Structure 1
């Protein structure tokens, strides 16, 4: 749970602060010698031929501490390797504090952007060591297949890896298998530590539930202590629940009091209220229910690790009060709210959603926002509003073509261009005075005709076709026609994807109290480009990797 205040505690590692993990500053991290070497490498790159292979450097660290190989060292090593290979560096994808086990290359913030959106801009991907790149054999296989499809190469500074040879691909697979075994062994060690910790009454590792903080006793052992302010706040929440108060109002009060941040969700607060850890017990998440449950010792009793904020009786009555209120809510049909994330309130800028209540005539549905008082004047007959949104969207962008982005390689066109250029040079040299084609009139005329043909073919090659690039393919449909098949849900998904909003304004006539609803579409200027469907190649071709 995000809280606004922190407690001082013993530093357990030398890892950097959250702000430092986002990026590293060149002036702060690079020494004078590093910058001098970087300048030398840039100068060497300037001497490379125009058609030199283009290299992308991948820099990654799981935890950036003072003891790990720094991002600067990795980048410089890779730049030196690129110079040795005659490769021009076109970019550096630096992903710090990113686990290779949990996050595959195509899902990392910087490297993922290069792989998914900027693939035409590089030819070879260089990384410092294979375990800096991937730690799962399946992820490695995915990347090998992707490189093969897009004609890219993988090169490691400290491993013998080269995808241009069969032996190199075999070596990559072997090394990747070793890395996965190492990862599995690490996982076993971590799991064993957690399993041991669960059986102990002392606090060894882990993050305590909201209301506790990690402290030290006189002997220097880690213990859990109760935050007195949050202790009072939790008991206040319990008293409100016993009087029928809503969890949403409790959440707002905690935020105003400075005990929680705006990012706290009511659902997260309810999970804390129901966590047995508030009684001082050690807990774990049940995989089936996804709820916190007490860890039991060998005798079947909960393991006590701290003084409880609530007694068992207080915790039980708190939970019963929350259950009683939740049973009063009318269940909404699944998917009842249409255009979620598209329709927003003009006054509070929150999503317009469907609310269903029950009265003596049955269930009654209306639209409301999230923060305006009383829902900001409910809008009856949601379907009529949905139909008006559909009509407005169709008028604005319904006739735009449906296009899909596809990857086009320029390798074959480059090869043909090079062949024609070499042939033109050959015939031009032969037609020079005393050249091989000037000895007879017949050979000269034949050579001139062939040269003209070659020049026509060379001129006909589109320079753009010689480059790796993205092309946009029209499938013959407009979005109006596509939405006839996908319906409102398909339209809403596309609108959220491209950032289209529908601002809802509600006014009330002071004379008769009648409500007036106005809708206004907010469409990005580059909506045509945003509407282009960018398929996730990794999800499609390598699903399950």
Structure 2
């Protein structure tokens, strides 16, 4: 495959790369409503429907909270639920109750961490999307972490122990509305641990019951629990039990895809099929857009034949599901087929043939700077691919989401490294550390008390307002206290992150760590190398987009929970 020589790379933002900024704004607009919603107390829990009365009550609670003193304790509210359905009301109840408790405690709410459809058994607090960001990056902003009930917060005693240690390290408190949890005393910490042990036992028993139900469900031709595969729906049979039947519209869409792959002489790619489905505004399996990966998972699933399947435990390829056999040694039928056994077998052969066009496509770890090098046209990632033509093997980088031309990996990587070193290589490597302001606050409070005392006693009628040596000495002391107050940085009285240089530059750091270290740092900092083609299509242009807060993003940040495991 021919290579393309990259011209000198420019660094954004400049007028020449306004197209890249517009493209990134367009991609931001495609984010889900949850991601677009600002993480502030004024935004109610998304993903559930709030009634007019509930919104009115929430506004009233916020108004009360905003009237609290500015120096009041600051609280973070944590709302979590494992399963979110259209009928879910628990997140709303949790959030309103938490606001009421914060107002009762005189705590100013500075944020709400909302994690819905998240299992507390599988995902500890510090790994949840919303709460995890607060615990890792926004520690100085709150003093108390509120949650509705302990099992809404954690389900494993080890997770609670880690959180207790974290709270002790950063001088934070945990508070539950429905459990006697308070870490301000040794007794409160002991009670919290005991409650967590009970919650873990309950979660274990629930897990055993659920696993037993799934094992039983697999052996039945009725549909007892769980969501069916795309293309099917549950209907009540003559005996009152649920069975599977075709879901008319999804069934028709799948039949169109299957026939396109089996009957057309030129087989359309999964990308092409998804593009047509999306243009026709046909919702995907999750209600959003169609993607090649999700479409191929459906087409590879033997459930298309109306048979019971389960996830492969030894999965190492594209066929993620396998048939479940009954006591008679035959596959268990649970519904009418979308594809006949003959069609399914032929379909797998077609998909196998299409997947052999490239050797090891999208191999994990094969692409350097994955997530950093992106396409100006669609925002997709450039990924390394390998193909064979006339006995020769070629490696090239190409956007996996659109038909961009291939780029020479060595030249593209080299251009990226050169421009990154030029722009950031001389920056010092900094480390983020947590600094407490308690000692400074204490000292400042003592000075303020002294200033108040001397100002009062130097006023007419005060014991120092008598002239002579006594008054002069008091005035000198007051001036000395005022100087000490002026010398104290107000920021030093706050709990905050501080950044200290480690003595090395990023050039030295990346020269020793190589491209892998540079790639991780660029990803963490949100730096993008956007690739576009010139208008005549002859040249390739790369633009380095650097966030304004790159200094703090690049700083080495200790994972506050990693060392616990």
Shared fold (TM-score, shorter chain, > 0.5): yes
**Distance of 2:111 and 2:357 partners within structure 1:** 57
CA displacement at 1:120 relative to structure 2: 1.4
Q: Return closer, same or farther for 1:369/1:162 CA change in 2, 3 Å cut-off.
A: closer
Q: Return closer, same or farther for 1:506/1:150 CA change in 2, 3 Å cut-off.
A: same
**Distance of 2:381 and 2:468 partners within structure 1:** 82
Partner secondary structure for residue 330 of structure 2: coil
CA displacement at 1:198 relative to structure 2: 0.8
Moved more, 62-71 or 270-279: 62-71
Q: Return closer, same or farther for 1:23/1:484 CA change in 2, 3 Å cut-off.
A: farther
In the TM superposition, what whole-angstrom CA distance separates every residue of 1:316-370 from its partner, at most 9, and x where no partner exists?
3332343344345323676443333333344454333333222456322233334
**Match of residue 532 from structure 1:** 555
Structure-to-structure mapping, 1:442-461, within 5 angstroms: 455-461=482-488
**Match of residue 564 from structure 2:** 542
Q: Return closer, same or farther for 1:495/1:253 CA change in 2, 3 Å cut-off.
A: same
**Distance of 1:72 and 1:399 partners within structure 2:** 50
**Match of residue 329 from structure 1:** 358
Contact 2:367 2:384 in 1 (8 A): yes
**Distance of 1:83 and 1:74 partners within structure 2:** 14
**Match of residue 13 from structure 2:** none
Q: Return closer, same or farther for 1:306/1:434 CA change in 2, 3 Å cut-off.
A: closer
Q: Return closer, same or farther for 1:434/1:524 CA change in 2, 3 Å cut-off.
A: closer
CA displacement at 1:161 relative to structure 2: 1.6
CA displacement at 1:386 relative to structure 2: 1.9
**Distance of 1:136 and 1:536 partners within structure 2:** 20
Q: Return closer, same or farther for 1:530/1:24 CA change in 2, 3 Å cut-off.
A: farther
**Match of residue 478 from structure 1:** 505
**Distance of 1:388 and 1:492 partners within structure 2:** 14
TM-score by length of structure 2 reads 0.78
Moved more, 111-120 or 424-433: 424-433
Match of 1:302 among 328, 331, 335: 331
Structure-to-structure mapping, 1:387-402, within 5 angstroms: 387-402=414-429
* Structure ID, larger Rg: 1
**Match of residue 387 from structure 2:** 357
**Distance of 1:94 and 1:382 partners within structure 2:** 41
Q: Does 1:314 align with 2:333?
A: no
**Match of residue 8 from structure 1:** none
Partner secondary structure for residue 471 of structure 1: strand
Q: Does 1:467 align with 2:487?
A: no
Q: Unaligned regions of 5+ residues in structure 2, if any?
A: 1-43
- How many residue pairs get aligned? The number is 512
Q: Does 1:144 align with 2:144?
A: no
**Distance of 1:428 and 1:489 partners within structure 2:** 62
Partner secondary structure for residue 367 of structure 1: strand
Q: Return closer, same or farther for 1:481/1:205 CA change in 2, 3 Å cut-off.
A: same
Partner secondary structure for residue 339 of structure 1: coil
Partner secondary structure for residue 420 of structure 2: helix
Partner secondary structure for residue 330 of structure 1: coil
**Distance of 1:388 and 1:367 partners within structure 2:** 13
Match of 1:292 among 321, 328, 333: 321
Partner secondary structure for residue 22 of structure 1: coil
Contact 2:358 2:386 in 1 (8 A): no
**Match of residue 435 from structure 2:** 408
**Distance of 2:91 and 2:520 partners within structure 1:** 39
Q: Does 1:57 align with 2:77?
A: yes
Q: Does 1:280 align with 2:300?
A: no
Q: Does 1:338 align with 2:356?
A: no
In the TM superposition, what whole-angstrom CA distance separates every residue of 1:481-502 from its partner, at most 9, and x where no partner exists?
2211222232233333333333
**Match of residue 29 from structure 1:** 54
Q: Unaligned regions of 5+ residues in structure 1, if any?
A: 1-18
CA displacement at 1:206 relative to structure 2: 1.8
Match of 2:146 among 126, 140, 150: 126
Q: CA-atom RMSD, angstroms?
A: 3.8
**Distance of 2:245 and 2:45 partners within structure 1:** 29
Contact 2:61 2:100 in 1 (8 A): no
Contact 1:23 1:96 in 2 (8 A): no
**Match of residue 4 from structure 2:** none
Contact 2:306 2:334 in 1 (8 A): yes
CA displacement at 1:506 relative to structure 2: 3.8
Partner secondary structure for residue 167 of structure 2: helix
**Distance of 1:84 and 1:251 partners within structure 2:** 53
Match of 1:382 among 409, 421, 436: 409
Partner secondary structure for residue 537 of structure 1: coil
CA displacement at 1:410 relative to structure 2: 0.6
**Distance of 1:343 and 1:160 partners within structure 2:** 51
Q: Return closer, same or farther for 1:503/1:76 CA change in 2, 3 Å cut-off.
A: closer
Partner secondary structure for residue 300 of structure 1: coil
Partner secondary structure for residue 313 of structure 2: coil
Q: Return closer, same or farther for 1:260/1:241 CA change in 2, 3 Å cut-off.
A: farther
Partner secondary structure for residue 539 of structure 2: strand
**Distance of 2:45 and 2:445 partners within structure 1:** 48
Partner secondary structure for residue 304 of structure 2: helix
CA displacement at 1:174 relative to structure 2: 0.5
Match of 2:290 among 261, 264, 267: 264
**Match of residue 504 from structure 1:** 531
**Distance of 2:372 and 2:394 partners within structure 1:** 23
**Larger RCO, structures 1/2 (Cα 8 Å, 6+ apart):** 2
Contact 1:400 1:479 in 2 (8 A): yes
In the TM superposition, what whole-angstrom CA distance separates every residue of 1:347-397 from its partner, at most 9, and x where no partner exists?
45433333322245632223333455xx44433x43123212221222222
Contact 1:408 1:470 in 2 (8 A): yes
Structure-to-structure mapping, 1:68-87, within 5 angstroms: 70-71=90-91, 73-87=93-107
Q: Return closer, same or farther for 1:191/1:399 CA change in 2, 3 Å cut-off.
A: same
CA displacement at 1:249 relative to structure 2: 4.2
**Distance of 1:355 and 1:72 partners within structure 2:** 47
**Distance of 2:391 and 2:91 partners within structure 1:** 67
